[in-house]
């Protein structure tokens, strides 16, 4: 009885946020994994927000967790990034992505990430080389697919991103090695995560782990060969090899290959979901479709060479409406608990005790050290206080606004020091797809 009591009422040097810790060991994981619609706050969060307010405690995947749907609290967390809060994901996710994974484990990885990924997905890299590759791959791929009548947008965007990203990450591979790597990168997914407790999901998980293992092995072999031969190539692996040679480097062979793998995964996953959502929204909105067609026709009419691909000038100067449609409008609808932190120190957080739209008194809650803090961006994006008619797809609401940075009310690409480094990449790929 004492153990059960302690499970439900964890020790805390202060006042814990309200909430329930669920069943012993599994906590509230089953409820957390229940499927929910794409254009809504996850049911798990919504139910608890109504019951406990915008900050509540729970237990997911065996981790004591505080979920925050309050923009002020989220802002306090981001402001204390790397001091009181660090990167922290449940162990199960860290294991699936590999033990060498600095991305989900290393608190200060973001400093290195921005530096090493600049060449490939920074504005200059996109402008100089990536835009041409994206445009050609997108045209070739969809010309082929269009003749087949119908296709799965998300799947095809995933395939085409992996196809043009792989040679940028590791170039000069033998054709059979490259296609093996591409197959393994494509096979890795998080679909099993949706129905964690079914037998088929466990089988899918084993397949996913196998494909990750094989992809990493190919990368490790190439990395060792390059290190021995001191061969230089114009690719991301080369940037990492230079980083590995530095004395102060935080990477080793395992974490470097893991980073290449993870970059291919995040590039593919976020962009493909948002593109599929954009297609879904546009197909149901004739006004948006007409405005897009008008903008795109003007671009093509102004081109000297009508068959030329999208240029950087067109993307930056002539696609204002397209850019309002793609990333901000669709990304705020992606319903995930996407950002997860770890409390490094016991911290007080100030929060208005608010139930739906009714404000109550200001409360001081304590988050004990070692707890996970999960941020629910969808609760902020779907709050009518922050956005008028938040469930409506309305690209015009972004007119004249900065769309890749984070703010207290817009965090589709994160916020603070860990802002998404691939936001421009995703925006460009989606613009090319729509044109």
Site for ligand HEM, rule CB under 6 A: 110, 113, 121, 263, 266-267, 270-271, 274, 327, 331, 334, 338-339, 412-414, 418, 420-422, 425-426
| CB nearer ligand HEM, residue 110 or residue 212 | 110
The Cα 81–Cα 373 span in angstroms is 12
Minimum gap (Å) between residue 376 Cβ and ligand HEM: 12
Based on CB atoms, which residue is closest to ligand HEM, 292 or 426?
426
The nearer residue to ligand HEM, 204 or 237, going by C-beta atoms, is: 237
Tokens of 433: 């797809």
CA atoms within 13 A on the CB side of 290: 3
Nearest distance from residue 327's CB to ligand HEM, in Å? Answer: 6
420 annotated as ligand-binding:
yes
Do 119 and 239 touch, CB atoms closer than 8 A? yes
**Judging by beta carbons within 10 Å of its beta carbon (0-12, 13-18, 19+), is residue 271 exposed, middle or buried?**
buried
Q: What is the C-alpha to C-alpha distance for residues 57 and 335, in angstroms, rounded to an integer?
A: 20
| Minimum CB distance to ligand HEM, residue 267 (Å) | 3
CB-nearer residue toward ligand HEM: 57 or 333: 333
CA dist 81 and 362 (Å) reads 23
Length of the chain: 435
CB of 179 to ligand HEM, least distance (A): 22
The least CB distance from residue 428 to ligand HEM, in Å, is 9
What radius of gyration, in Å, describes the C-alpha atoms of the chain?
Answer: 23
- To ligand HEM, the closest distance from the beta carbon of 419 in angstroms equals 7
Which residue's CB is nearer to ligand HEM, number 204 or number 282? 282
For 6, 27, 84, 367, the CA distances from 370, given in Å and listed in that order, are 16, 17, 11, 9
Query: Taking the CB of residue 346, how many other CB atoms lie within 10 A of it?
Result: 15
Nearer to ligand HEM, 55 or 77 (CB): 77
Q: Tell me the residue number closest to ligand HEM, measured at CB.
A: 422
Where helices occur in 56-152 by DSSP H, the ranges are 71-79, 91-96, 102-105, 109-121, 123-125, 131-146
| Residues flagged as binding site for heme | 420
| Residues flagged as binding site | 420
């Amino acid at each position: 009885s004492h153990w059960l009591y302690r499970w439900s009422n964890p020790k805390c040097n202060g006042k814990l946020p309200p909430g329930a810790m669920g069943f012993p060991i599994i906590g509230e994981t089953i409820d957390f994994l229940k499927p929910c619609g794409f254009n809504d706050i996850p049911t798990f969060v919504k139910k608890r927000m109504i019951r406990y307010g915008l900050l509540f405690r729970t237990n997911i995947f065996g981790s004591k967790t505080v979920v925050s749907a309050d923009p002020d609290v989220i802002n306090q967390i981001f402001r204390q990034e790397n001091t009181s809060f660090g990167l922290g994901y449940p162990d199960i996710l860290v294991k699936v992505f590999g033990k060498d994974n600095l991305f989900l484990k290393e608190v200060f990885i973001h400093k290195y990430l921005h530096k090493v990924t600049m060449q490939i997905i920074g504005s200059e890299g996109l402008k100089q080389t990536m835009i041409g590759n994206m445009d050609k791959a997108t045209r070739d791929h969809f010309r082929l697919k269009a003749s087949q009548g119908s296709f799965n947008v998300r799947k095809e965007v995933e395939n085409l991103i992996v196809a043009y990203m792989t040679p940028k990450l590791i170039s000069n591979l033998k054709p059979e090695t490259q296609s093996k790597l591409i197959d393994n990168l494509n096979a890795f997914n998080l679909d099993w995560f949706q129905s964690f407790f079914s037998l088929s999901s466990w089988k899918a998980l084993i397949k996913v782990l196998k494909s990750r293992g094989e992809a990493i092995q190919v990368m490790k072999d190439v990395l060792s060969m390059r290190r021995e031969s001191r061969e230089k190539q114009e690719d991301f692996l080369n940037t990492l090899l230079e980083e590995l040679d530095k004395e102060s480097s935080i990477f080793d062979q395992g974490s470097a290959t893991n980073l290449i793998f993870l970059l291919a995964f995040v590039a593919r996953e976020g962009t493909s979901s948002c593109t599929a959502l954009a297609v879904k929204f546009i197909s149901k909105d004739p006004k948006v479709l007409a405005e897009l067609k008008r903008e795109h026709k003007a671009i093509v009419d102004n081109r000297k060479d009508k068959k030329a691909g999208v240029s950087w000038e067109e993307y930056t100067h002539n696609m204002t409406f397209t850019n309002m449609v793609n990333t901000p409008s669709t990304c705020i609808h992606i319903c995930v608990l996407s950002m997860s932190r770890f409390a490094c120190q016991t911290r007080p957080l100030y929060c208005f005790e608010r139930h739906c739209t009714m404000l109550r008194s200001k409360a001081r809650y304590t988050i004990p050290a070692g707890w996970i803090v999960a941020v629910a961006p969808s609760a902020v994006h779907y709050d009518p206080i922050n956005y008028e008619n938040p469930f409506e797809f309305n690209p015009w609401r972004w007119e004249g606004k900065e769309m890749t940075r984070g703010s207290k009310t817009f965090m589709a690409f994160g916020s603070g020091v860990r802002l998404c480094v691939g936001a421009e990449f995703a925006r460009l790929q989606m613009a090319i797809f729509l044109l």
